[in-house]
A and B are shown apart, each in its own frame.
Chain A
Amino acid sequence: MEFIKKNFAILLAFILPIGLIVIVALSVYLPSSFLSTNYNFIYTSCNNGIDYYSYDCNNYLQKRYSVVENKLVINEVDTTLGLANKTPDATENYTARIFLHDTQKNESREITSEEAKTLTLNSLLTSPDGVTVSSHYDRNNGGFFIFGGGSSSYGYYLTKGNGQSKINLINNTDQYYYRNNFQFIGWILPGRN
């Protein structure tokens, strides 16, 4: 007691920042720990075979995959005309893959287009139990301030209210999942329960 009385100012100087860190950590991690959904979802990604970042893949994926009457439809896309600049471009050689993400285990696995076609899908970004797939700029993911090092990237999250939980996508750290290289297709119906 005497020690606390004598060193009250110095103890308070340590307690204040620790208290702030605890509050910040709780406000970030607590809502996320209660976030869960009963539904899995499928998504696609692609590579144009040329660029590191595959800039036009998003256009390709949007044209190639659509959900009609709760079923996946795979469309033929004429890539010889070019997707971005509308000029003939024979070098664009897109490879698209479909993945099923298990939200309970937070892991993805590749599935065949035939398997994907058999699934019943809800193409809304928000699941029937109110969880949304969303992307935002992830400052934490790239290099650190003085040395630059890497580049920050867009992370994908399940969000509901203030809670958010990062989704582990396959090959998350390489160019395969550039921001424009992820196409959410739909939540799989029915849910686990």
Chain B
Amino acid sequence: MNKEELLQDLSVKISTGEISREEIVSRFNLASEGQGAVKTENLKESTSFSVTKMLYVLGAVIVVVGIIIFVSQIWEDIGALGRIVVTLGLGFLLTAIGSMLLKSKPEENIGAVFHFIGGVLIPGGAMVMLSELNVKTLWPVAITFGVIFAFYLLLNFVHKNAVLTFFAIANGTAFVYLVVEAIVGGSSHMPDNLYAYLTMVIGVCYLLLAQSFREGWNKKLIGFLYFFGVTGFLAAAFTQVFDSVIWQMLYFIIVIVGLTLSVYMRSRIILVMSTLFLIVHVSYITGKYFADSLGWPISLVILGFVFIGLGYVSFNINKKYITN
């Protein structure tokens, strides 16, 4: 293998995400050499790159909205097969184009844009197909989402792209909820808070995925996974505090664990969401237990100081442990 072939091979591996730039920099100790020059170049590149990316995203959104409006105009006239073709068929077609583009132009984002549009159309199209087939039970819907989830896992295995990971996670999440609903739908003995526990589990899964995506091609999804993971978990846990004193006490521990986790994972999103939910919980506890005894005005004053204190602590955690 000559130098040119070696560099070509390396370039392909970087673009497919098999090797990250950071790994190469750290392996060959390139960080200090010519860092200034690289930084300036990167800045220029990132500016033009983000404009291109923004245009891609804007274009993809306009295409999806356009397809929805167009399809809704002709919906009644095209018949069952036509409806399936313009949703599911188009979704698969765009996904196939996306895959071809990702293979032929791995360094560009255009393939991911086609995959994004396809990813929106495929689950919707599958629902249209089940509706046209007059499916009345939940199991076929759950299985369909399971198949779409497996499809995106497989695509992701081939292309290693963050957009495909996103759709794998979204369809996988829908699959889990639908399977649970299909199992308990016919049962009268399941607890009402089952979905709160399920959402907590899904929230933990998102945080675990975010943790495992710290290195590699899925880095772009970390913020999204942190936000939905921590928000899902804390919101679902908060729904349990209304009728249970144990949960009211446990929730303080949960939020403190969230704050600790934000330091461990160096995540500002987890810090902000944990602080917000702590504020909500403190407000709830104050309203429930202290508003009658202390009176609302005094409770509000105390609550105001508690907010300031929490804000100060949160700001300092961010400054001391996360930003640095």
Contact = CB atoms under 8 A, between A and B. Distances in A.
A12 B207 CA distance: 11
A139 interface: yes
Contacts of B183: 21, 24-25, 28-29
A141 B208 contact: no
A164 B212 contact: no
Contact of B198 (A13, A20, A139): A20
Q: How large is the interface on A (under 10, 10 to 19, 20 to 34, 35 or more residues)?
A: 20 to 34
Q: Which of A140, A144, A155 has the most CB of B within 10 A?
A: A144
Nearest to A166: B186
B180 A141 contact: no
B212 A7 contact: yes
Given A28-B190, A139-B185, A147-B127, A10 B136 contact: no
Contact of A140 (B135, B176, B186, B194): B186
Interface in B47-94: none
B182 interface: yes
B208 A21 contact: no
Contact of B184 (A28, A141, A166): A28
B32 interface: no
Interface string B178-213: 011111111111100010011001101110110110
B205 A16 contact: yes
A34 to B, nearest CB: 14
A146 B212 contact: no
Nearest to A151: B136
B130 interface: yes
Interface residues of B, number: 34
A157 B190 CA distance: 15
Contact of A144 (B135, B179, B184): B135
A113 B146 CA distance: 49
A144 B209 CA distance: 29
Q: Which of B176, B205, B211 has the most CB of A within 10 A?
A: B205
Interface in B139-193: 141, 176, 179-190
Contacts of B188: 136, 157, 159, 164
B204 A140 contact: no
B40 interface: no
Given A17-B176, A140-B138, A140-B185, A24 B212 contact: no
Interface of B: 127, 130-131, 134-138, 141, 176, 179-190, 194, 197-198, 201-202, 204-206, 208-209, 211-212
18 contacts: A13-B204, A16-B201, A16-B204, A21-B179, A21-B180, A24-B180, A24-B194, A25-B183, A28-B189, A28-B190, A29-B183, A138-B186, A141-B136, A141-B186, A142-B136, A144-B138, A147-B131, A149-B136
